[in-house]
Each structure stands twice: as C-alpha cells, then as structure tokens.
Structure 1
Amino acid sequence: MTEQSQREQREAELKRRKVRKGTHSCWECRRRKIRCQFSASNDTVCLPCQARGSACRSQEFADSDARPPAQPDRRMAQRLGRLEELMARLVDRILPETTAKTAPATVTSSSLSNRASPTPSASQDTGTDDGRGYPRTLDVLEAAVGDDTPVGLLLGLRDLSRAAAAANQPVSMPTPESDEAISPRKPATSKWDKTSRALHALFPSQHAINIITKANAGPYFLTSLFSSFRDLIEGKTENANSVSVVPACTSHPTVLARRLLQISICLQQLPPGYDAEPLQLNSTIPKFMENVVSVVSSLVTCIDEMVATAEGLESLVLLGLWHANAGNLRKAWLTYRRAMSLGQLMGIDRGPSRTLKFVDTMVNPRQRHTPEALWYRITACDRLTSLLLGLPAGDPDNSFATEEAMKRDTHMERLEKLHTVIASRIIERNANKSPSEAYAITQSIDCELENAANAMGQDWWAEPDLEVADENGHRLGQMLHLMLQVHHYDLLILLHLPYMLRNPSESRYDYSKATCARSSREVLKRFIPFRNKVTSVWACRHVDYSALVAAMTLLLSYLRQHQDSTTPSPTCPQRSEDRKLVEMVRERMQHVAVINQDRLTHQSADILGQMMPILDSIDASLMNDVSEVNMHLLKCLHLKVPYLGTVNFHPSVIVPAGKMGVCPNAGQEPVRTAAGMPTAFHDGSDFEQLQPQMASLSTSPDGAEVGATSAASFEGGPMQLELGSLDPALLPPDAALNGMFMDFDPQPQDGVLEFPDLMAGADDWIFQGVDTTYWSLLNGNNVAWG
C-alpha cells in the first residue's frame, strides 16, 4: 500500500461519524424520508439509490452533497434585534419596580405573541373568547396604572402588572399552557364583596321566586329582550327557567342586580290583589319592588366602574323598563341615555368590541348576548321614550335595520326595528323649522309605514285573540303581537297629529285627519281586550299612554268644520260608534284605576269624561237647536294642562249668521298672554298664523330656561276641563268657518314658572310631560319641550 493511499484511509476513518444504534439508512434515503433497503447484506448500494442512480453514502460518513447553510438576512436580523430590545424596554417601563426586583421578566418574541393571541379560555373578568369569536376585553373606565401606554394596553400587559403589584409576587409572561394561572381581577372582585352581600340579602326565598316566575309570562319576555327568535330556537340564549336561579353571594354586583330587577319586573306583571302571603316578602309587593330599585340604584347603577360591563348595561335597561312601567318616564329616559353613553364608550355601537366584558361566569359563553343585540335594545327604548317626551333621540345609528342585519329576523322583529327607525325620523321631523320640509318628511314617513304594514300581510293586522292563549309562551306572543300593532297605529297618530286641525279648506290635510281618526279607533279597539286580560297597570304602561292619546285624538277630530252645503245627519253611525268606543275605554280605565289605585288611569278617564261635550256640541249644532247652540256652541271648552296652560277648544258649528249676534258675556275682557298681548285669532290661510302668540323664554328659579307656556297655578294637578263663554267679539266674522278650532292660554304666575322637579315620579307628575308633547304637536309647534 502506497503512502498516499494510507493517508486517504486515515482521513476517511477520521471523517466517520458516530450514529445512533439501529441507523442503517443512507443520506439520500434520509432526505427523502423513505426506507433504505438492500437486496443482499453485502451490497454497498441500496435499492432506492440504484433506481435513482445516485450515490449511496452511509450516515457514518459526512454528507458531501449537503447544501451549505443559508446565510441569514442581516437586515431582518437587525430588525428583530431592535424589536426585542424595544419590547424589553417597554416591559421594564410597564411592570412595577418591585416586581422587576424580585423576578425580572424575560420577554421574548414567542411570549409576546402568546399574549397577543389569547387562547379561548374563559375567565370571570378578562372576557376571553366567549365562543362567538369575540376578543379579550379591556376596562374602559378603570384608571391607568403608572406609565401605561397604548401599546401596553393593546398587549394586555396592564392587567398583568396590576395582578403582580397586588399580589407582590414574581411575574412571568404567560404561555398557552399557563394563560389562566394569573387571575388579575381578584382584587377588583374583593372590592365589591360588601356590595354583593348587601344585594344578595334582598332576594326572597327560593320558594317565593319559583312562585313569582311561574305566575306570568315575565321570564319569557326577559329572556327574549336581548335575543332574537332565531337565537331562542338555536339555544343561543338562556331559557326562561334561568330567571329563577339566584346567583351566588360572591357574584359580581351587576349579576345580582340584573337578577333582582328581573324578579321585580316579574312582580310588576302580577294581577292586582294577588295574594302575597305565600311569598313572605315582609312587605307589600310595591314596597318590596321600590326597595329593590332603590338599593340597586344607589349601590350599582350609579357607579360607572361597576356598570361598565355587559351585565351592567342589561341592568340599566331593565331598570329603565321598570321605571317606564311604573310611570316614571323621565327617570326611564335618563337611565336609557346613561346606558347609551356607556355603550358608546365601550364601542358596542360599532360591533364586537374588546371593551365589552362579561362578569357572569355561570353563563355559557355561547349564550351571552351579542353587542349588536344590546345596542339595539338600548336604542329602541331610548327612541320610544324620547318620542313620548318630545326629546331628541340619543343616537342616529340605524345600522340594525339594514338587510344584512335583519336577514335572520322574523317578520315581527323586522317590523319592530323599522318602527325604531321611524320613531327617530318623527323626532327629527318635529324638530324641523321649515313647514314645507316638515310636511314632505311626513309624507315620506307615511309611505315607509305603509310599506312596512303591507309587508306583514293583511291577516297579520287582525286583532289577536288573547283569550285562546293559555300557555305563558303563547300568551306572550299574542301580547307582543297586539302591542306591536298598537305601536304602529300610535306612530301614525303622532305622525299626522300636527296636521289634523289645519285649515279645512286645504284638502291635502284631509288625509291626516282621516288617518288620525282611523288609527285612534284601532288603538282603542285593542286597548279594551288587552286591559281585560292584563289588569296590572305596572305591565305594559305604554298601552295606557297610547289609549289616552288615541281617545283624545278621536274626540278632537270632531272639532273640524262641516263645510258641506248639506248638513250631515245628526245620527251619524260612525259618530255614534265612536262615542260608544270612547265610553267603553273610559269605563275600562276607571275599573283598572280602582283595582290598582292608579292615578294615571284615573286622571285619563276623567279627561275623557270632560272632553265628551265635544260630541254633544256637534250633535247640537247639527240639530239646529238654538237653545242648544246657545248652551253648547257659544261656550268653548277649556282644558287646563299642568305646566302648559289652558287649551281652549272652539267646536266647529254651522250657525246661521243671525243667531251669532248676541253673547251672554259680551263684556268680558280678552284673554291675555304672559306678554300682555291678546290671544290672536287669524283667518287660517297660513298655518303658521294659527299658532297663538307665546311669551318669550323666561328663567326658572334655578336659572334654566323653560318655555313660558307653563301654568304655575296648576302645581302638577290633573288636567281640568271647564265650560266657559266664548265671546264672539273676540272672533272675526268668519272665525267659525276658517279652522281656528283651538288656542292656548299660557298663565305664568308673577313671571316665575313653578316647574316641577325634572326627575319627579308619577306620584308628583302624573303624565310626566306626555300631555305637553301631545298638545304641542297638535298645535303645530314642532319644538315640543318636556
């Protein structure tokens, strides 16, 4: 053997590699991840390499065909280095110094990516993925810790630093396996322990709760309030039985408050005279509810940090519903507006949001209410209350009524959302200063209502039969059906009310008058069976307001002048039917008022009784009875509206010219307004001239400007209607023929308006300003103040 061959043999032996026992495959088969097989034990080339014609080299020797390692990208390496350095500085700045001293956190790109991409684990307050794809949540109202930065906020490091500072223990960046090891909200939970215990003590016994929730359809209504019918069918919301489950005393206060309010709303549905002895409430049902609402309002809903959760928003909506049913519309409006403001801070008006957190750990994340459902319910409640009180809507967003948003909704749900949109448009119309634009908007809204009604089909508008609904679920469906019909007709009345008593020579206003009368009849026909079945005034109070508005509108529609050359028949069948209908409604209101000891329905019945002379005036005028004319027609009707003034009605009559020359009280002084000017009467050619001269704004004792149309002498008392003499000397010769059917007489007291407390309840302010809004609309005054 030559010297050179010996040297090559030694070099080959040095290049041998140590391989794992049992390794027999060659480099080429290893790269291809196939089995290395030999036809004979003494073969030097495996079968796959023979087939490919490649070199078969054992792994004992270095792979001469191996590709050299790729050179790293210097620019990419520099960028990653700078990013890691920046992240390290950021964590050092955010984490507390005490934590850094005890256990400095080592931040790597992998740990940060794990934190930025949370696992779907659920925790009480951190609001992790809830099963619907919503991201982690952040608290929008808690103060920032130290030098918190937007980047740290986005990475979720603030919660981590809080937990470390509170526990004073080492902190390590979470990994997918240990993401739930840290419980950053434990200090916050302990902060509300005292409040939670106080709320938990308010619950009645479990036996009493079971009785309450099974006595009516309240639980079905509450569980469907923030969910669609499709969600109920698919099991994406809690069932009605969940209302009877009492949360643990360690639950978040908003969870306890929500359940207490749900039970209180169920108590509102109980019929009057319900035997409360088995409930063992230690007080009457009204006192129990008032105590619950008072405690919840003082301990939970007034604290921003506490209600800045999904359960907190639900509690605010439920509290507003309770106040609305109790007749406290102004408190309800303020509660809805607060829920809307918090919802906007959380960003739920823009869809899924990181700042919407859930604190109820007992609810399946799949059954949590969506941000879209929460936002729609807040918006719908706000607009309905704002329309009744003559106040602006809180938010113009109508994204919930797009075709995409309503594709899963039923026909009734679509109609309800369209009603919410139309309510906002009516509010905008009422604030419009241009008469021509307002009338054009009215026509446009009327077309929208007609299209919405046609989409439901003719059969749907038949009166629901509440007597055949036995089960709670079926009964609730029938009642919601009826209430949706009532709301539709109510919108039509409020839409056309400003044009009902316009100049009768203008034929374009005849449609508004006919629509108001027809819609009023439909509301009253549904009010009677509804209040026959649901006798508790604390249930669906909105129906009572609608019935009062409809009855007054139907009576006032007869103030219109009969200008036909032929005198109508004194025994007009429609007028006789309307009289019977109003009398039946009045009797039902009186019955409900007696058994509930309710002031609102009692005063509503009194108002209708005092306005019935309007029909008597029409009957007398059509009889051409001179004595009756002198008694009824030459006497106008005076309706005193609290905090507004006196409404003077002039019934439309057909009186021979020779019989109008004498007035019993021709020497009385003209009625004067607050500014000392006589009440104006115009020829009615322009509706703007029909508005009475109102005094300018004056200042109340607290410095706030309010309308001078208030009458301080009423002091919140009920409306009163009086018969008084109408002096023809105050009227122009053709006043009875030109559409001047009504004027206002504001009566301030010593120049200072005694306006009630803005947050006065139904006991101190019965109609809460609904009456003021109604008369302002009827007078054509588009700026209706509450």
Structure 2
Amino acid sequence: MTSEMRREASNSSRDIERLGKAMRKGTRSCYECRRRKVRCIFGGRDSTTCDGCASKGKACIEQRRELLGKSGPESKDSLRERIAKLEAIIEASRSDNNSSIDGAVSDSRLNDDAERPYLGNHSPQSIDPIVTLFDNAIWRRRSTDLTQERSKDIEANPAAAKRTRIRDSLLSSLISSEILGMILNATCSWWHTWRAGPRLFTSVDDLHTSTLQDFVLWALESSDPSIVGLAMLCIAICLQHLDSRVHQFIIRKLPRLPGEIFQDYFESVDRLVLNDPDCASTGAGIEATILSATIHMNLGMHRNCWMLVHRAIAYSHLLGFHRPERLTPSETEAERNCRTQGWLSVCSRDVYMSLLLGLPYAADGRTIPFVESQHNARSLLHHKLIILSVKVIDRNQMGLGLSVSHTDAIQKEIEAATKDLDDTFWNAPAALACGKITQPEYLESISAQCWLHQLLALLHMPLMIHSVEDKLLEKHRIFCLEACRNLLRVHHIMRSDASAAFSMVKLIDYQAFICSTLLILGLLGYGDATHQLTNRDKDRDLIGLTVATLRQASGTVNNPIASQAVQGLETLLSLDSNSCATGSACVDPHARIVVPHIGTITITPGKHITETRSQCLQPAPRPPPEFSLTHNMYDGSFGQVNQPPIMASSNDLGFLSSPRVDEPSIDIDWTSATMPNFENDWAWLNDLNF
C-alpha cells in the first residue's frame, strides 16, 4: 500500500509539474490522450472532459488549464471580445430581419402589381400616357416610386395650399347656416329632377345625395374646392327660386338682394373653379361645369352654355370617361355603368344644344355601344336620339338641309327607333296615374317625347319652307307642323306638372315659341290652303292654350323668356285676327316683336291675309305679296352662326326680303329692345320679382 501511495503521489506531482508546460501550438489533444497516442474526442459541445479521460476517471489536464487560464487576468479581453461579437451578431440579425420584411413587402407589391396594371390609387387619367409604356407584362414601375413622389409633392408642391385657398375664397361670402337652411328647405324641389341622374364622380354616395340639404352640408365640409363650388352653384339656384310673393320673410333676412348674392356665388365659382384647370379637370369639376352651363342656358346665354358643355367634354376625354371598357381593374361594374350613363348625359346636352343652335357638336356618344341601354327601352331611345340628332346636325353642317334623300333616310330611322314603344311611353301622365310607371320613368318619357318632336320639326323645317314653291315637298310641311303640334302638347304637360318638375327648364318656353310661330305661319296663309283649313281651328285652340301656358309661366320667378314669347305670339296672332276698317286705306301692317334670345324681327302678313283685305277694299292690281320674315342679328352676344335653325334656314332660302320695292325701311333700335343683354349686364337680376 505504501509503495502504491508513493507511486500515485509521484504521478500527481508529475502531473502538477506538467501543468506549467505548454502544449505545442496547434494541437487539440489533452495531455493523457497525447501520452497514450489516442484520439482525443469530446462527446458534447459544452463538455470539458474528453471521452478517454472520462472512461479512466481522469481529468483533461489541458482543458483544466484552459479553464484555469480563463479565470486569469487575460479573461477581461476575452469577455470584451465576446461582447463585441455578440453586438455584431445582434446588429446582423436586425439587418437580416429588415431585409426579409422588405423582401416580403416587395413580393406582395409585385404580386399586387401583377394583378393591377395601374399603380396604387392612380388611375390612367392621372398618369402621363408615356408612363403606360412601362406598366405592362414586360416591365413595371414600382409603386414605391409613386409613394415617394406623392409624399414629396405633399411637402413641396403648393397644390394643397392652393386648394385650401380656393376653398376659403368660395366660403368667404357664404350666408349664415340658419338662413341657408331656410332657403334650402323652401326651394329644394328642383333637386329631385335635376340631380336624380348619373354622376361622373363616385365620391358621393346615396346618403350624401338623398336630399339637397344633405348634399350641401356634406359638400361644404369637403376639402375639394370643386365639390364646394358645386354646392355654391346649388345654393345659387335656390336663390333664383326665391319669390318675393312667397318667400318675403326669407328675403328680408338676407344681407343683400338675392340677385346680388346669386351673381356673387355664380361668378366666384366661374372664376375660381371652372377657369382653373386643376379644379375643372376632375369629376366634380365636370359636374360643376355642366351645372353652370345649365344656369347659363336658363339665363338665355346659349353661347356660353354651348362652350361650357364643350369644355366639359374635353375634360371628360382627358379623364377617359368616354371609354366603354373599365378604366382600372378595381373599377366595379356599377361604377362603370354610372360613368357610362354620365358620359351619355354629357353627350346628350352637347348634341341637343348644337341641334337647337345649328352649331357643330363635340361628342356624339358613339363610343358607347347600344348594349349598355338595352335593358331599358326609354334609355335605349334616349341613346338613339343622340345618334339621330347627330345625323341631322351633320346634314345641316354639310349644307344638305334641302336633300330629300337624306331627310327621308333619317325619317325612316326615327320611325324604326319608335315603333316598339308602348302606350305607357306615349301616354305617360295616364300611366303614372295608374301606377304603371314610376316618377323617374315618367320624367324620362316626357323629356324623350319633347326631344323627339323637336328633332322631327328641325328635320323637316328646311324642306317645309320650300314647300310653298315645290308641291312635291308638301309631305315635309305636314311632318313639320304635326311635330310642332305634338311638341306644344308636351309643353303643356311639362308646364302643368303638379310637382313642378320642369319649372327650372326655361328652354322649353323658347321651343314652344318656335313651334307656335310655325303654326301661325300656316294661319297667315303660308302653304297649302286646303290642308290648312282642316286644322285651322285646332291650331288656333292649341296656340291659344300655349299662350295661356306661357303667360302662367311668365308669372313665375326669373322667367323673362316666357313673357317675351307671350308678347311675340300675341303680336303674330293679331295679324290673323285684324279686320279691314271700312273706308280706310288698306295697307299691309308691319308688326315688330321680340323673339326670345334673338332680338327684334319685323313681320308682314302673308298671302291669306292680303287676299282677304283685297276683297274688302279692292286695291289696284299688283303682284301677289309673299310672307316676309325680316330680322337683323345684333353684334355682341349672338352672331350669325348662333341663330337657331328656324332663322338660319330662312336666311339661306332667301325669304328675308320682300319682292316689293315699296317696302318701308326698318330702323331697329336695339338699345330699346326688351330683351336684356344677359352676357354683359347682371343688374337685371337684382330687380326680378323683388
């Protein structure tokens, strides 16, 4: 035992001595494994004893020395290094996480871009056409670029400040909310008729447009100056409807006369919104332009109305509203249908005004296929009326107004377009009373009938004027006069509507004047006498009903058109009712009347009146007189190109001058004309019914 203890003690002392001996650099074996010349294997990653030493119950000398060395003063440097490595690992992990997130977002954006060819919320109308070359299946511009540009524009571009400045300017003269609410409640009947149709901007839902009050309150809080301008125009229309006989209490509360406030609102919207391309080239801006054109039309400023509608069509083209396909994949079918119907509404306004004024049109709606309106017979007829009116305008613009073949071809197309319409369309008031159609369908039917009869009258009018010389054209005179009779009946229905749905439409009074004038021409002897005798009494009764309807309409607020039409028609009817005074010299009287929107014209009696008076006084023989329609277009608001088709056709056909040489000269004093100059003077608004 003693020898063994000595041997172990000597071995342990020898081992302790070897602790100070360093192993050669590069070796990884412990002292015992190196002595035994075996491989030093560690079983675990964190193990400090190799397998050989563990099996013999011995400690790894070199591992122990390493552990002992770590507890020495040099371990501080090692800890500092490890902390630095740990910080480096943490920073690397952060960068890896950010790169993975960016990669995921980029992949999702790329996938989203693959599904949407247009970028972000930008529609094709807000991107230059050249940019679309880089948005296709071959290459695509990343939406992050647009996001960065958008944020930079918000910070650097003064567009936001400009919109705020325009909005503040529009609202600076707004009346108090209490008075505004009273005005809207008293004069909101026009909203249900005028604003029931489709809209060109989809930021307004049904909750905001159910009533005029809701729309105005929502629009005045909007940050878009175009929407604010649209609300200001609505308030201006309400001011037009104020009647001193009914709304005297409201008028007394206003800070100024309603006409002055109307002028202020109307001109501020025109200056700040309609004349600013950034505001006018939006959906709401186009809506405001169309509403402003309607106000111009009711004020008798047809030239301004025509130009504003053309401007709205130009902006609609820039925004792509005329395209039948979807503008973006995110556009829903309901939004596309709303945009299509809105575009047709703009086209119909343009074509109708161009047809009435004899001017070219800017858009005809042919980009929209008929299948868009096949679900509704009335909508389909409205679409076809646009196309047929375009053909009449093209015929007149090409100088083919006297072409019988073109006229007959258009007449056949009109008959084909109306042959499938049922009695609920032709007798809309009775159908509405029986509940067969709704109120919107009733309004649509009446409006379509008015347009249809106006189209037929203007289609056959040039040939009607020549029918007095060519008996082969007699059928065109019959067609024209029958269309005039039907239009006057529709005018009576529109003016007698219980809900006053057409009270704001002043243009129908002008159309009634034209059709009544054509019927009076026949009563004065213009045309076939045998055919006139069969309808003479009916025409007198119909004209008398029209005059009574116009007189009633002239009593409403702000309708000088009807009052001028009554004056002109009564003067024309007096030529038919005059009788020769016994013993008096028989001379042809000359009547001077004022035609709405046109000016003063001079009327002499036709062949029928002349022959009747010749039997009474038996004057000396002379060439048979002819009906003479003489008028001069004044320079300024209206030019030769702006006269309506009835006047334009008369000029072209040579019926303005009488063949008699003893015709007295007419000196027309335009300064004393009863029709105000709407284009240059707004003061007349201050005195209307106040």
TM class, shorter-length: 0.5 to 0.7
Letter of the 1:457 counterpart? D
Distance 2:681 2:215 in 1: 28
Counterpart pick for 1:189 among 147, 150, 160: 160
Assess if the C-alpha contact under 8 Å between 2:184 and 2:238 holds in 1.
Answer: yes
Question: What is the deviation of 1:160?
Answer: 3.5
Q: Is 2:126 aligned against 1:139?
A: yes
Counterpart pick for 1:440 among 396, 405, 414: 405
Distance 2:260 2:329 in 1: 34
Question: Which structure has the larger Rg?
Answer: 2
Say what the alpha-carbon RMSD is for the aligned residues: 5.6
Question: Which residue of 2 is the match for residue 509 of structure 1?
Answer: 473
Distance 1:709 1:254 in 2: 33
User: C-alpha offsets along residues 153-212 of structure 1, whole Å, 9 cap, x if unaligned?
Assistant: 9666764453354578xxxxxxxxxxxxxxxx9963343112122334555556644862
User: C-alpha offsets along residues 253-302 of structure 1, whole Å, 9 cap, x if unaligned?
Assistant: 11212233334445556667341645855344444333222111111111
Question: What is the deviation of 1:370?
Answer: 3.8
Counterpart pick for 1:335 among 298, 305, 308: 308
> What SS does the aligned partner of 1:446 have?
helix
Question: What is the deviation of 1:532?
Answer: 4.1
After TM superposition, the structure 1 = structure 2 runs for residues 639-654 of structure 1, keeping only pairs within 5 Å, are 646=602, 648-652=604-608
Question: Which residue of 2 is the match for residue 219 of structure 1?
Answer: 191
> What SS does the aligned partner of 2:372 have?
coil
Q: 497-506 vs 598-607, which deviates more?
A: 497-506
User: C-alpha offsets along residues 720-760 of structure 1, whole Å, 9 cap, x if unaligned?
Assistant: xxxxx9886779xxxxxxxxxxxx999899xxxx9x99982
Could you say if the C-alpha distance between residues 157 and 335 of structure 1 is closer, same or farther in structure 2, counting changes exceeding 3 Å? farther
Q: Is 2:427 aligned against 1:454?
A: no
Question: Which residue of 2 is the match for residue 428 of structure 1?
Answer: 394
Could you say if the C-alpha distance between residues 581 and 561 of structure 1 is closer, same or farther in structure 2, counting changes exceeding 3 Å? closer
Distance 1:277 1:604 in 2: 31
Counterpart pick for 1:344 among 309, 314, 317: 317
How many equivalent pairs are there? 556
After TM superposition, the structure 1 = structure 2 runs for residues 349-498 of structure 1, keeping only pairs within 5 Å, are 349-351=322-324, 370-400=338-368, 402-408=369-375, 410-434=376-400, 438-462=403-427, 464=429, 477-498=441-462
Assess if the C-alpha contact under 8 Å between 1:238 and 1:367 holds in 2.
Answer: no
Letter of the 2:245 counterpart? G
Could you say if the C-alpha distance between residues 271 and 661 of structure 1 is closer, same or farther in structure 2, counting changes exceeding 3 Å? closer
Letter of the 1:491 counterpart? L
> What SS does the aligned partner of 1:348 have?
coil
Distance 2:351 2:320 in 1: 19
> What SS does the aligned partner of 1:196 have?
helix
User: C-alpha offsets along residues 56-105 of structure 1, whole Å, 9 cap, x if unaligned?
Assistant: xxxxxxxxxxxxxxxxxxxxxxxxxxxxxxxxxxxxxxxxxxxxxxxxx9
Letter of the 1:420 counterpart? I
Question: What is the deviation of 1:394?
Answer: 1.0
User: C-alpha offsets along residues 350-384 of structure 1, whole Å, 9 cap, x if unaligned?
Assistant: 245769999xxxxx997697432332122111111
After TM superposition, the structure 1 = structure 2 runs for residues 56-455 of structure 1, keeping only pairs within 5 Å, are 110=107, 113=110, 116-117=113-114, 128=121, 136-139=123-126, 151=134, 159-166=146-153, 188-201=159-172, 208-209=180-181, 212=184, 216-226=188-198, 239-240=210-211, 242-247=214-219, 249=221, 251-265=223-237, 268=240, 273-275=245-247, 277-278=249-250, 281-351=254-324, 370-400=338-368, 402-408=369-375, 410-434=376-400, 438-455=403-420
Counterpart pick for 2:536 among 561, 568, 575: 575
Counterpart pick for 1:616 among 558, 577, 584: 577
Question: Which residue of 2 is the match for residue 177 of structure 1?
Answer: none
User: C-alpha offsets along residues 410-429 of structure 1, whole Å, 9 cap, x if unaligned?
Assistant: 22222222222222222112
Distance 1:296 1:165 in 2: 30
TM-score (norm 1): 0.57
Distance 2:103 2:583 in 1: 98
Assess if the C-alpha contact under 8 Å between 2:590 and 2:602 holds in 1.
Answer: no
Distance 2:193 2:636 in 1: 43
Q: Is 2:552 aligned against 1:596?
A: no
Letter of the 2:571 counterpart? Q
Letter of the 1:407 counterpart? Q
Could you say if the C-alpha distance between residues 212 and 248 of structure 1 is closer, same or farther in structure 2, counting changes exceeding 3 Å? closer
Letter of the 2:388 counterpart? I
Letter of the 2:417 counterpart? A
Distance 2:132 2:240 in 1: 48
Assess if the C-alpha contact under 8 Å between 1:500 and 1:513 holds in 2.
Answer: yes
Question: What is the deviation of 1:601?
Answer: 1.7
Distance 2:219 2:348 in 1: 29
Could you say if the C-alpha distance between residues 140 and 331 of structure 1 is closer, same or farther in structure 2, counting changes exceeding 3 Å? farther
**Where does the alignment leave 5 or more consecutive residues of structure 1 unmatched?**
1-104, 129-134, 169-184, 359-363, 667-680, 685-689, 711-724, 732-743, 767-786
Counterpart pick for 1:760 among 666, 672, 679: 679
Distance 1:195 1:763 in 2: 24
Assess if the C-alpha contact under 8 Å between 2:125 and 2:318 holds in 1.
Answer: no
Letter of the 2:126 counterpart? D
Letter of the 1:583 counterpart? G
Assess if the C-alpha contact under 8 Å between 1:308 and 1:342 holds in 2.
Answer: yes
Distance 1:315 1:202 in 2: 19
Distance 2:286 2:154 in 1: 30
Say which structure is richer in helix.
2
Assess if the C-alpha contact under 8 Å between 1:307 and 1:313 holds in 2.
Answer: yes
Assess if the C-alpha contact under 8 Å between 2:590 and 2:603 holds in 1.
Answer: no
